[in-house]
Amino acid sequence: MIVKNPKFEISAVKPEQYPKNDLPQIVLVGKSNVGKSSFINSMVNRKKLARTSSEPGKTRLINFYNIDDQFYFVDLPGYGYSKMSKQEQIKVGNFIEEYLSTSKNISLIVFLIDIRHDPTSNDKMMYDYIINCNLPCLIIANKADKIAVTKVDNEVNRLQTQLNPLKDLKFLPYSSERKIYSENIWEELSKYI
């Protein structure tokens, strides 16, 4: 897909602030620093549409990016960022859960995990939550540029065995940094737009 005019539309922490149209919403979830905001930038070929940082904890709100009036990429704060105060972690967790459980327009959850590491306990909780909500989910093993090309398939298989032993979800490798495998990702996303 060639994106022409991706735009930041609104930040939200409560339902009244969500966009008031029925465009499908493709939502990025995953731990802090896994590359959710970078994923959005790389898919739309913009370096700074979504703000990123080498420090975890950059995204603090629900950010809606309108992609050519076709769909939204919805960027969420990551979990597992220990420097955030307990109080703020609870507040953020609550507004994320409210969004995931009440928004009628979520067409796909894009769940990012790090290709180099085992899923964290928070990743497992997020996986269980998505399955319980019955939301369609694509799992992306990001930062594939950090390992040898010859190891990519094995690592993706390992992650799937650990997180989704039934193997009924789609797992794909990706690199937001180098945009490798992005055609496979667009092919999958386009089914939900």
Ligand X SMILES: Nc1nc2c(ncn2[C@@H]2O[C@H](COP(=O)(O)OP(=O)(O)OP(=O)(O)O)[C@@H](O)[C@H]2O)c(=O)[nH]1
7: its two tokens = 């735009």
The residue (of 106 and 113) whose beta carbon lies closer to ligand X is 113
For residue 143, the minimal CB distance to ligand X (Å) is: 4
Out of 37, 42, 63, 66, the only residue in the binding site for Mg ion (CB under 5 A) is 37
Strand pairing partners for 11?
A: 63
Return the structure tokens found at 50.
Answer: 């979504």
Among 25, 41, 59, 66, binds Mg ion (CB under 5 A): 59
> Alpha-carbon distance 29 to 136, whole Å?
13
Cα end-to-end distance, the chain, whole Å: 11
Q: 52 or 66: whose CB is closer to ligand X?
A: 52
Q: What is the DSSP letter of 136?
A: -
Q: Examine residue 185 and tell whether it contacts ligand X (CB under 6 A).
A: no
Q: Which of 68, 88, 98, 177 binds ligand X (CB under 6 A)?
A: 177
Residue with tokens 């940094």: 177
The binder of ligand X chosen from 25, 66, 142, 160 (CB under 6 A): 142
Chain position carrying tokens 């507004």: 95
* Pairing, β 6-12 against β 25-30: unpaired
Q: Which residues bind ligand X (CB under 6 A)?
A: 30, 32-38, 52-54, 56-59, 77-78, 142-143, 145-146, 175-177
Q: Which residues bind Mg ion (CB under 5 A)?
A: 36-37, 58-59
